[in-house]
Structure 1
Amino acid sequence: MSKLSLDLRKQERPSKYMVEQIGKQSPLLTLAELQPPKFLPRRQPVSMEFVNSNIQPGKVVVFIKPTCPYCRQTKDFLSQLSFKPGALIFVDITATGDTERIQDYLQQITGARTVPRVFIGQECIGGYTDLMNMHQRGELLMRLRQIGAL
């Protein structure tokens, strides 16, 4: 199998780039023609991996920003409940340096990019207001028991 390298210096036509094949030049190709080989696994974006790796069955996971007042209220409220060890996780999305992409991905999977984003098991219930409404309706503790978090 031949090795390809991409010369990112623009050639005569601005939409074309030069591809070198083991020292000899081959025809100019567009970026669309430069697909990764099919045998290489495609990696998920880091933001997707970060979010998906934190959402777990049997746990309550809350994506937060430490400076957000609703995140602090969510953390204070949930910390008062008697969770099993390791069943309540707060994930600071600002610690990654990829905050915007993480929020974009949260919007894709939950419909909102705001924080906090509260997951009970693998289901997002929403943010702080949704959490408090669920608690006032008497549904929160029941759900937490159902997933084995309490």
Structure 2
Amino acid sequence: MATSELLRMDNMGIVVESLDKAIAFFSEIGLKLEGRMVIEGEWAGRITGLPNQRVEIAMMVTPDGHSRLELSRFLDPEVMEDHRNAPVNALGYLRAMFAVTNIDELVERLQKQGATLVGEIVKYENAYRLCYIRGAEGLLVGLAQPL
């Protein structure tokens, strides 16, 4: 049998409470809505281990078309846990990092949507200006401006 080889990372998934708010937030960063639909049926539950699931998803894509973010809003079953306000040193999903051209301008736009800086914008050597920001629904994302 042939050894499996990694082709690419296809997407990252985030469960949200409001698809509209999450789409607006990630659109402001620069991702584009690729599609939106409801996923349901016995086959879907066999993948996730949640029988009879109904999930509305929105697929967001980066401008280069190489990376995707799948936003999911569970209709059934109801959400069981909420990790959105976990500190940055909690185990599990932390954040997605996005490379941007003007971090100050973007942070200002995101703050107008209610986003907040976790700490501050800092310079890392002569390579990046970086920050963590909590946006739509408290989702944590990183922004990095190459220098």
Which has the higher Rg, Structure 1 or Structure 2? Answer: 1
TM-score, normalisation: structure 2: 0.28
Going by fraction, where is strand more abundant, 1 or 2? 2
Going by fraction, where is helix more abundant, 1 or 2? 1
TM-score, normalisation: structure 1: 0.27
